[in-house]
Amino acid sequence: MKNRRKTIHRTKPADYDYNVFINCPFDEDFKELFRAMVFTIHACGFAAQCALEDNNQTNRLQRIMDLIGECRFGIHDLSRIDIGKMPRNNMPLELGLFMGCRQFGHAHDQLKEYLVLDSDPHRYKQHITDLGGEDPGVTTTTRRL
Average pLDDT of the segment spanning 117-145: 60
In three-state secondary structure terms, 138 is strand
Quick one: CATH architecture of 16-143?
Answer: 3-Layer(aba) Sandwich (3.40)
- Distance (Å, rounded) from C-alpha 105 to C-alpha 69? 8
For residue 4, what are the β-bridge partners? Answer: none
3-state secondary structure of 42: helix
Residue 10 pLDDT exceeds 80: no
Ranges of each domain in the chain: 16-143
3-state helix, strand, coil in the chain (%, to 5): 40, 15, 45
On average, the pLDDT of the chain sits at 81
Three-class secondary structure of residue 38 per DSSP: helix
CA-to-CA distance for 21 and 77, rounded, in angstroms?
A: 11
pLDDT digits (tens, 9 = 90+) for 30-62: 999 999 999 999 999 999 999 886 666 678 889
